[in-house]
Amino acid sequence: MDLFTTFDIAASGLKAQTTRLNTISSNLANAETTSTPEGGPYKKKSVVFQSQDMPFNKHLQKSLNEQGQAQGVQVVKIIEDDSDPQRVYDPTHPDAKEDGYVEMPNVNVMKEMVDMMSATRSYEANTTTIKSAKRMLIKALEIGR
């Protein structure tokens, strides 16, 4: 595996974690949204990742070098949580039903914050990988002088 493959893999991780952070941000922003255009409360969204093969030239290089194929990551889809909404008693709320209960989104703010911290750390790890590979390339070029 060369250093350029490292850039490809880390870049795919950066893109995937950016999507994950945007989804978490959407969940946090809508944690109190009781009415959506689709009807009912906001539904929590989650990102599904899958390994991603690198382009054809990487496969060819693998065949020539007989090394394991490097894989990046990609977002396959963003799914909605279909669990029942939380029911909170608040008869003064504009979206309250006749029994006084309001259907609130199924977003747990604490879990979302922990998930955001995890995604941020993963993003930082990929950034560090790119910076390290860049430093190695620069050092390799300096040796050639």
What residue ranges of the chain have pLDDT lower than 50?
A: none
What local confidence, expressed as pLDDT, does residue 48 receive? Answer: 93
pTM of the predicted model as reported, rounded to 2 decimal places: 0.80
Supply the angle between the helices 3-29 and 109-143 in degrees, to the nearest 10. Answer: 160
The pair of structure tokens assigned to 48 is: 């599904």
What local confidence, expressed as pLDDT, does residue 45 receive? Answer: 95
Contact between residue 36 and residue 91 where contact means Cβ atoms under 8 Å apart = no
